[in-house]
Amino acid sequence: MEPFIKKHEYNAIRKYLRDLNSTFRNCTDQKIIETHKANIGENILHLFSNLSDDQRALIDISALNDSFSIDNYISNLDHYVYGMADITPVAIRKVFKKEKKLKLPSGEVLTSKKVYLGWLDESIRKLFLIYNLDNKWIGMACRIPNTNSTNTHICTLCNHVGKEDEVTFVSPICKMSDPDAYKSIGFHICLDSEQCNERITSTEKLEKLLKTVNNLS
């Protein structure tokens, strides 16, 4: 069977199963456990449309009854997960034509399964992000302003809560049809894109942001 689970869908399944695992551990009422499991099974099915019978059987969770079986299920599912398509350094440079001294992400980052490609250039305080939207590469170069904030923030993409050194405010450089026009937006995002990619369960906000920044909506 070919990979059919997108990385963010896999993250969503993992998140549901962490919930189920804690029910297994903390609940003794078999009826409550079964109800919770049935709900989670439905939620997982709803992540997909047009599943084949084999695919449906693979994601079915009705046989899961303990932490051990959950772990097995998750590691088996990993074989059917696919991330963003591979991108070449040439294509990366094309997305960020205006960045004069673009530092490319490491090869390791390039090969992992991911929802989006993100990397940090500390020397110029910018976070770069690339995503494949409808078979086209789009990206954003986000400036990281200096702040002394000690507050915690929530990542817009994955909802992770962290202090400034984990989740920071960024301001992407927006493309405008009128070269003299200026648009300023900002949002909070994880500095560690690899971790963010392990947590993100929906691409809705990411796509909306990228469309705004690239003047596509």
- Contacts with Zn ion by CB under 5 A lie at 155, 157-158, 160, 190, 196
Looking at the Cβ atoms of 39 and 152, the one nearer to Zn ion is 152
Tokens found for residue 104: 């490319």
């049935």: which residue's tokens?
38
Taking each helix axis as running N to C, give the angle between helix 7-26 and helix 67-77, from 0 to 180 degrees, rounded to the nearest 10.
170
The residue (of 23 and 195) whose beta carbon lies closer to Zn ion is 195
Q: Which is nearer to Zn ion, 91 or 161 (CB)?
A: 161
Residue 32 beta carbon to Zn ion: minimum distance, rounded to whole angstroms: 32
Name which of 27 and 161 has its Cβ closer to Zn ion: 161
Q: Which of residues 64 and 191 has its CB atom nearest to Zn ion in the complex?
A: 191
Phi, psi of 5, deg, nearest 5: -105, 120
Distance CA 20, CA 88 (A): 39
Considering the complex, what minimum distance in angstroms separates the CB of residue 28 from Zn ion? Answer: 35
Taking the complex as a whole, the smallest distance from the CB of residue 153 to Zn ion amounts, in Å, to: 10
126, with CB counted inside 10 A (0-12, 13-18, 19+), is buried
CA 11 to CA 46: how far, in whole Å?
Answer: 14
Question: Minimal distance in Å, beta carbon 194 to Zn ion?
Answer: 10
Looking at the chain, how many residues does it have? 217
- Minimum separation from the CB atom of position 92 to Zn ion (A): 21
